[in-house]
Amino acid sequence: MSVCEVCGNDYEMAFEVHAAGAVHVFDSFECAAHKMAPICENCECRILGHGVQSSDGRFFCCAHCARVQGHRELVDHA
């Protein structure tokens, strides 16, 4: 069995996520999202959908949050 790196659960159905040259082990999508999902730089929610990224590499959950932070060029892709 493998141990989830977020909650420490030793679970027979744990899974690996390979990203940016690293391997992560999780027991649930909830733990994977908690560890891997970017955080909106305005409202601080986890970005689980498309979100938007500014040219300087900042992540936002939506164009509204990007505009609040001064990135008026970003639009939602709905």
Residue owning tokens 């990224």? 53
* 74 pLDDT higher than 90: no
pLDDT at residue 76 tops 90:
no
**Angstrom distance (rounded) from CA 37 to CA 34:** 6
Query: Residues 26-58: pLDDT tens digits?
Result: 999 999 999 999 999 999 999 999 899 999 999
Domain ranges of the chain: 1-36, 38-78
Mean pLDDT of the chain: 94
With 70 as the cut, is the pLDDT of residue 78 above it?
A: no
Assigned token pair, 1: 């069995």
pLDDT at 70 over 80: yes
**C-alpha–C-alpha distance, residues 3 and 63, integer Å:** 37
36 in Cβ contact with 24 (< 8 Å): yes
Type of residue found at 13: M
Q: Token digits for 4? A: 């989830």
